[in-house]
C-alpha cells in the first residue's frame, strides 16, 4: 500500500523574471513500512519536494496524497501535522537554544494532547530511551550535547507523537562518519520496531545503499530513475544514475558541468554523452523490470 504519493507535482518559483521549475511533474510513491531514499545533487529539488509534502510550499500544480487524502487542500492540513514529521540537516538550528531537551520534547508532545509536566516526563524519557539516550539528557541545553546526541533528540521529537511517516532531510551530513552510521543503524531499528515509513534524503550514496529499501534519483526537478535499492545499485540505467554511482566514493559533489536547462526536452541532455535528436522531447517512462523504471530514450544496460 502507498502511504504517500505525489501526482504530477509541480513547484515553480520566480527568479529575475524567470520561472524556476524546482519540482517539475514529479510522481513519487512511498510504500508503507519501507525506507525510501531520494538522491541527487544540491539544487535538484529534493528539499523543495519534502517541504511541499509537509505543506511549507504550495504547489503550482499537482497533488499530494497521504493514505488517499489530498493534503494539498487547506482543510486537510491537520492530517500533515499529526501524521508526517521531519528531521532537518543541522540539529543545532532545529532547537531554540533557550529550551532544555525536556522543554523541547514536552512542547512537541502537548501540541495534540493536554498533559501535566509529570505525565509528560515519563513519555519524554521513553522517547529518549528509544533513541538510546538516558534521563541525564533531560535538563541539558542544545549546546551541552554533541551533534550526534542532539540529532537523536531531533529524531525523538519527530517520533514522540507516533507519526506514520518521517522525512529525514540530510540528517547525517553534519555528523562524522562513525556517528552517521550509528544514526543509520538506529533508524533501521526504529523502522523495524515501529513498522514506520521513512523518506531519507541524502547526498551520501553509501549511506543510502545501507539504509534504503527503495530509491528515487532526481535531477533538476525531475525523477529520472527509480527502483528497489538492490536492483537500482546493481543495474543503473539512466546515464545520470550511472554517473552518480561511478563518481568517487559515491559522493554527489560537483560531478557535472553547469548547463543551460531546456525544460522542453530531457533536462539531462546538456550533460549526456548519448543524446540524440529524440532528447529534444520529454522522455517517457520505460519499465525495465517490475518496480524499476527509467526516463530515458537511450537506455544502455550494463
User: What are the sequence ranges of the domains in the chain?
Assistant: 2-295
pLDDT in tens, 116-145: 888 899 999 999 999 999 999 999 999 999
Residues 6+ apart with CB under 8 A from 89: 169, 170, 171, 173, 174
Bridge partners of residue 217, in order along the sequence: 39, 225
Q: What is the mean pLDDT of residues 20-31?
A: 94
C-alpha cell at 130: 528509544
Return d(Cα 60, Cα 81) in angstroms, integer: 21
With beta carbons less than 8 A apart as the criterion, state whether 173 and 204 touch: yes
CA 225-228-230 angle, to 5 degrees, is: 110
Query: Dihedrals φ, ψ of 136, to 5°?
Result: -60, -25
Is domain 2-295 in CATH 3.40.30.10, yes or no?
no
Condensed to tens digits (0 to 9), the pLDDT of residues 274-295 reads 888 898 898 989 999 899 999 9
pLDDT of residue 73: 93
User: Environment class of residue 4 by beta-carbon count within 10 Å: exposed (0-12), middle (13-18) or buried (19+)?
Assistant: buried
Q: Tell me the pLDDT tens digit for each residue of 205-250.
A: 888 888 999 999 999 999 999 999 999 999 999 999 988 887 745 5
Residues 204, 78: Cα–Cα separation, whole Å: 33
Amino acid at each position: 500500500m502507498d502511504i504517500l504519493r505525489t501526482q504530477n507535482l509541480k513547484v515553480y518559483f520566480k527568479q529575475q523574471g524567470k520561472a524556476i521549475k524546482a519540482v517539475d511533474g514529479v510522481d513519487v510513491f512511498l510504500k508503507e513500512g519501507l525506507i525510501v531514499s531520494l538522491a541527487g545533487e544540491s539544487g535538484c529539488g529534493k528539499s523543495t519536494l519534502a517541504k511541499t509534502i509537509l505543506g511549507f510550499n504550495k504547489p503550482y500544480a499537482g497533488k499530494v496524497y497521504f493514505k488517499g487524502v489530498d493534503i494539498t487542500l487547506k482543510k486537510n492540513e491537520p492530517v500533515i501535522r499529526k501524521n508526517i514529521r521531519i528531521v532537518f540537516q543541522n540539529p543545532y538550528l532545529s532547537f531554540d537554544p533557550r529550551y532544555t531537551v525536556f522543554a523541547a520534547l514536552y512542547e512537541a508532545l502537548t501540541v495534540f494532547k493536554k498533559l501535566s509536566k509529570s505525565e509528560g516526563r515519563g513519555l519524554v524519557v521513553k522517547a529518549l530511551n528509544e533513541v538510546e539516550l538516558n534521563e541525564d539528557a533531560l535538563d541539558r541545553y542544545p549546546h551541552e550535547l554533541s551533534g550526534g546526541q542532539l540529532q537523536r533528540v531531533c529524531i525523538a521529537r519527530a517520533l514522540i507523537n507516533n507519526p506514520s511517516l518521517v522525512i529525514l532531510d540530510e540528517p547525517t551530513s553534519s555528523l562524522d562518519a562513525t556517528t552517521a552510521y550509528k544514526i543509520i543503524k538506529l533508524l533501521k531499528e526504529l523502522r523495524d520496531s515501529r513498522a514506520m515509513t521513512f523518506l531519507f534524503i541524502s547526498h551520501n550514496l553509501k549511506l543510502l545503499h545501507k539504509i534504503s529499501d527503495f530509491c528515487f534519483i532526481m535531477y533538476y526537478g525531475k525523477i529520472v530513475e527509480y527502483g528497489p535499492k538492490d536492483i537500482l545499485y546493481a543495474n543503473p540505467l539512466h546515464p545520470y544514475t550511472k554517473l552518480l554511482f561511478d563518481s568517487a566514493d559515491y559522493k554527489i559533489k560537483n560531478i557535472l558541468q553547469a548547463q543551460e536547462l531546456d525544460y522542453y526536452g530531457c533536462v539531462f541532455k546538456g550533460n549526456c554523452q548519448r543524446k540524440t535528436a529524440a532528447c529534444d522531447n520529454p522522455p517517457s517512462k520505460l519499465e525495465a523490470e517490475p518496480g524499476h523504471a527509467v526516463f530515458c530514450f537511450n537506455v544502455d544496460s550494463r
